[in-house]
């Protein structure tokens, strides 16, 4: 058996959808598992909707996902070009269309000059005169009699009656090929051996097989993957909120988390649900993919992501954190790596996304944090606040060794003063040094912040209480 070659062939008409990412992932997984090749092909035959920006966005998203390709528009390869629009220019699709017409397996259709949707003539002859007169012409594939059969890795044996399929256009009047035709030409010329794609293409497959047969080409293996649905069981779309890879990236999902979740969605890898997809390549078995439409669950995605946030090396997480901050146009921390890693380590225990991590860690990295209104109203303005904070300032100033244990000691002795309940004292301190009422453990927070910052922040809070007195 020759080299296994798979491809992902998006049309550049928008962002990369999570469904597309999952399709790409499964193709990539199989190519890598089989030590084959993975190819990226851009299907930009829809002149109206295709844009360069989309192509770039899709490539960026794919790269971010950790999916790499051996051949593609940006990296080249022996079977290029890898953009269909460029292949049109080389006359590739015309060439085979003419071959089909010569065999009388396809024909020209000439349309009415004024009513351009109205076919007036079908012919095998090159309609030179009509073209000169300005008629629109297309080329259609002539569906033969009989039945078309194929085997789908997931669905099993498939059989379609050709009589239920009508002749279909393969070359549009603008000279560009249609999807069902171009995909066959390209997959064959690019020596694609396995086609894994969305289930929405299942009914297109017999058309494509007929073209393979008409041209006398070998048919690749097919697998049609069930679609990703929204909570109402309709295909996941913008109506369900954001669905693009870029969106999940922007809200702080890690690429590892997204890939892990996407893999989980329809493929039960084994007992453990949390894994690095790269370490599961060898376990990938296409035929074990679920055969039914799967509902996308953002909550589980977040849970999976949280697991990854806590599992990866803190240094790696900090790297992701900085990249993400830049990607979303936020400030990035300026501090020592040692300090940053401490912050990340204590904060990541409580969050599932980089965005939540950003919020939680903000007062550790920046001094311009603001007090939560609830903190001001319920703690800072409380009668005991000034008293407790003055004592705290005194205790912390005199504290020599700054450790989690010693800050805990101070906090507990402050509570034992019985100026206010332990809970109130702790919450007051928490808000004083972070502005928030939800933070990592108070003692760790104080320790990480360091003596100097803690004292400064207590003084700042005190000045507020004095201004109200």
Partner RNA sequence: GCCCCCAUCGUCUAGCGGCCUAGGACACUGGCCUUUCAAGCCAGAAGCAGGGGUUCGAAUCCCCUUGGGGGCGCCA
Catalytic residue numbers read 238
Phi, psi of 40 (to 5 degrees): -105, 125
CA distances from 278 to 114, 120, 281, 336 (A): 57, 56, 6, 31
Stretch that binds RNA, among 69-77, 348-356, 374-382, 391-399 (CB under 7 A): 348-356
State which of residues 4, 9, 21, 40 lies at the interface with RNA (CB under 7 A): 9
51, 133, 283, 288: which one contacts RNA (CB under 7 A)? 288
Question: Around 434, how many Cα atoms within 13 Å sit in the side-chain half-sphere?
Answer: 27
Range in contact with RNA (rule: CB under 7 A) among 65-73, 186-194, 197-205, 252-260: 197-205
What is the rounded distance in angstroms from the CA atom of residue 121 to the CA atom of residue 108? Answer: 8
- What's the full length of the chain, in residues? 469
Q: Judged by CB under 7 A, which of 213, 291, 328, 406 binds RNA?
A: 291
What is residue 25's three-state secondary structure? helix
Footprint of RNA on 97-136 (CB under 7 A): 111, 116-117, 136
299 close to 221: Cβ distance less than 8 angstroms: no
Count residues near RNA (CB under 7 A).
Answer: 77
Q: Which of residues 30-59 bind RNA (CB under 7 A)?
A: 43, 45-46, 49
Show contacts with RNA in window 227-246 (CB under 7 A). Answer: 227, 229, 233-235
The interface with RNA within residues 250-279 (CB under 7 A) comprises: 264-266, 268, 271, 273
Which of residues 278 and 292 has its CB atom nearest to RNA in the complex? 292
- CA dist 8 and 27 (Å) reads 7
The whole-angstrom distance between residue 461's C-alpha and the CA centroid of its chain comes to: 43
Interaction between residue 63 and RNA (CB under 7 A): no
Using the rule CB under 7 A, give the single segment among 86-94, 178-186, 243-251, 367-375 that binds RNA.
178-186
Residue 160's SS3 state is strand
Q: The sheet that has 194-198: what strands, in order across it? A: 37-40, 5-8, 194-198, 221-225, 147-152, 156-161
Q: Which residue's CB is nearer to RNA, number 194 or number 348?
A: 348
Tell me the closest approach of the beta carbon of residue 221 to RNA, in angstroms: 17
Q: Does 202 contact RNA by CB under 7 A?
A: yes
Which lies closer to RNA via its Cβ, residue 105 or residue 227?
Answer: 227
* Paired tokens of 244: 């693009």
Per CB under 7 A, does 25 bind RNA?
no
Regarding 11 and contact with RNA (CB under 7 A), the answer is yes
Give alpha helix (H) positions in 328-400. 337-347, 354-365, 373-375, 385-398
Using the rule CB under 7 A, is 200 a contact of RNA?
Answer: yes
- Nearer Cβ to RNA, position 324 or 447? 447
Q: Token match 């049109």: residue?
A: 88
Q: How far is the CB of 433 from RNA (least distance, A)?
A: 11
Residue choice 32, 430, 432, 462 for contact with RNA (CB under 7 A): 430
- Interaction of residue 176 with RNA, rule CB under 7 A: yes
Among 153, 158, 281, 417, binds RNA (CB under 7 A): 158
* Member of 95, 292, 374, 466 binding RNA (CB under 7 A): 292
The reply to whether 208 sits near RNA by the rule CB under 7 A is no
Question: Using CA atoms, how far apart are residues 9 and 24, in angstroms rounded to an integer?
Answer: 9
User: Measured on CA atoms in the order 100, 165, 108, 135, is the torsion positive or negative?
Assistant: negative
Task: Note whether 294 binds RNA by CB under 7 A.
Answer: yes
| Cα distance between residue 291 and residue 380, in whole Å | 57
Asked if 263 and 30 count as a contact pair (C-beta separation under 8 A), the reply is no
């Amino acid at each position: 058996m020759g080299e296994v070659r798979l491809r992902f062939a998006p049309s550049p008409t928008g962002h990369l959808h999570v469904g597309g990412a999952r399709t790409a992932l499964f193709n990539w997984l199989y190519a890598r598992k089989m030590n084959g090749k993975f190819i990226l092909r851009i299907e930009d035959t829809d002149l109206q909707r295709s844009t360069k920006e989309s192509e770039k966005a899709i490539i960026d998203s794919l790269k971010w996902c950790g999916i790499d390709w051996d051949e593609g528009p940006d990296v080249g390869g022996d079977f290029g070009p890898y953009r269909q629009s460029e292949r049109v220019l080389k006359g590739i699709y015309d060439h085979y269309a003419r071959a089909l017409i010569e065999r009388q397996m396809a024909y020209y259709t000439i349309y009415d000059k004024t009513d351009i949707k109205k076919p007036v003539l079908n012919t095998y002859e090159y309609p030179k005169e009509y073209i000169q007169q300005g008629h629109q012409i297309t080329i259609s594939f002539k569906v033969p009699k009989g039945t078309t059969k194929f085997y789908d890795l997931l669905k099993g044996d498939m059989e379609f009656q050709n009589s239920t399929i009508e002749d279909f256009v393969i070359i549009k009047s603008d000279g560009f090929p249609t999807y069902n035709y171009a995909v066959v030409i390209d997959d064959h010329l690019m020596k694609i051996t396995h086609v894994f794609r969305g289930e929405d293409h299942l009914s297109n497959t017999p058309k494509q097989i007929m073209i393979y047969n008409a041209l006398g080409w070998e048919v690749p293996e097919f697998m049609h993957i069930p679609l990703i649905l929204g909570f109402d069981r309709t295909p996941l779309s913008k109506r369900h909120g954001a669905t693009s890879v870029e969106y999940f990236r922007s809200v702080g999902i890690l690429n590892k988390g997204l890939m892990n979740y996407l893999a989980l969605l329809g493929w039960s890898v084994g007992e453990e649900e949390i894994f690095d997809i790269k370490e599961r390549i060898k376990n990938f078995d296409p035929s074990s993919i679920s055969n039914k439409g799967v509902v996308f669950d953002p909550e589980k995605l977040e849970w999976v992501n949280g697991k990854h946030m806590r599992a990866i090396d803190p240094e790696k997480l900090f790297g992701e954190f900085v990249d993400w901050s830049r990607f979303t146009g936020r400030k990035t921390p300026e501090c020592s790596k040692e300090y940053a890693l401490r912050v990340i380590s204590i904060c990541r225990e409580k969050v599932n996304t980089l965005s939540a991590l950003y919020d939680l860690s903000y007062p550790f990295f920046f001094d311009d944090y603001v007090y939560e209104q609830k903190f001001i109203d319920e703690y800072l303005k409380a009668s005991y606040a000034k008293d407790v904070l003055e004592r705290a300032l005194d205790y912390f100033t005199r504290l020599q060794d700054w450790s989690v244990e010693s800050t805990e000691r101070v906090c507990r002795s402050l509570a034992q003063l019985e100026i206010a309940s332990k809970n109130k004292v702790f919450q007051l301190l928490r808000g004083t040094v972070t502005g928030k009422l939800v933070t990592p453990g108070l003692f760790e927070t104080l320790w990480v912040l360091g003596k100097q910052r803690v004292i400064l922040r207590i003084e700042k809070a005190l000045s507020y209480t004095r201004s109200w007195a």
